[in-house]
Amino acid sequence: MKVLLLGLGRANLGVAEYLVNKGEDVFVYDENMSSLAAQAQKMIANGRVKKYSAQDYDLAITSPGFRPGKAIFTMLNNQATPVIDEIEYVYTQLHDPKVIAVTGTNGKSTTAALISSVMTAAGISHFLGGNLAPGKPFSRVLLQDAYDYYVLEVSSFQLMRIDKFRACIAVLTNIGVDHLNWHRDFAEYRNAKLRIFANQDRSDFAVLNFDDEWIRKLADTMEARAVFFGHQNAEGVSLNGQFRYDGAALFKNAGLPLSGAHNLMNMAAAIAVAKILQIDNADIERGIREFKGLPHRMEDLGVHKGIRYINNSMCTNATAATASFLATTGPRIVIFGGRHKGDEGQDYLDVLVRSAKACVILGENANFIADYFTEQGYSQFAVAENMKEAVARARAFASPGDTVILNPGFSSFDYFGNFEERGEAFRDAARQD
Question: For residue 343, what pLDDT band results from cuts at 50, 70 and 90?
Answer: low
The topology under which CATH files domain 299-431 is Protein-Tyrosine Phosphatase; Chain A (3.90.190)
**pLDDT 10s digits, 14-44:** 999 999 999 999 999 998 888 888 999 999 9
Residue 179 pLDDT: 46
pLDDT confidence of residue 70: 86
What is the C-alpha separation between 344 and 365, in angstroms, rounded? 9
CATH number of 88-289: 3.40.1190.10
- Coil, strand or helix: which one is 35? helix
- Omega before 134 cis (within 30°)? yes
Enumerate residues 6+ apart whose C-beta is below 8 A from 208: 172, 215, 216, 218, 219, 226, 227, 228, 229
What percent of the chain is predicted at pLDDT more than 70? 97
Task: Kindly state the average pLDDT of the residues 312-326.
Answer: 89
Q: Report how far residue 132's alpha carbon sits from residue 110's, in angstroms, rounded to the nearest whole number.
A: 9
**For residue 414, what pLDDT band results from cuts at 50, 70 and 90?**
low
Q: CA gyration radius for the chain?
A: 22
Q: What is the pLDDT of residue 340?
A: 79
Average pLDDT rounded to a whole number, residues 245-251: 96
Q: By percentage, how much of the chain surpasses pLDDT 90?
A: 77
Q: Is the separation of the CB atoms in 237 and 133 below 8 Å?
A: no
| Phi and psi, residue 143, nearest 5° | -105, 15
- In angstroms, the CA 73 to CA 52 distance is 13
Q: How confident is the model at residue 61 (pLDDT cuts 50, 70, 90)?
A: very high
Q: Under a CB-based contact definition with an 8 Å cutoff, are residues 409 and 338 in contact?
A: yes
What length is written for the chain? 433
How far apart are the C-alpha atoms of 289 and 206, rounded to whole Å? Answer: 25
Q: Are 353 and 376 in contact (CB under 8 A)?
A: yes
Best CATH choice for the domain 2-81 from the list 3.40.640.10, 3.30.420.40, 1.10.3720.10, 3.40.50.720: 3.40.50.720
Phi/psi of residue 332, each to 5°? Answer: -125, 130
Which tens digits make up the pLDDT trace of 150-186? 999 999 889 999 999 999 999 999 987 554 555 467 7
Q: Where are the beta strands (DSSP E) in 189-331?
A: 205-209, 225-230, 237-239, 242-245, 248-252, 299-304, 307-311
C-alpha–C-alpha distance, residues 412 and 420, integer Å = 9
d(CA 227, CA 292): 26
How confident is the model at residue 412, as a pLDDT?
77
CB count in 10 Å sphere of residue 175 = 21
Domain residue limits, the chain: 2-81, 88-289, 299-431
DSSP of 262-302: HHHHHHHHHHHHHHHTT--HHHHHHHHHT----TTSSEEEE
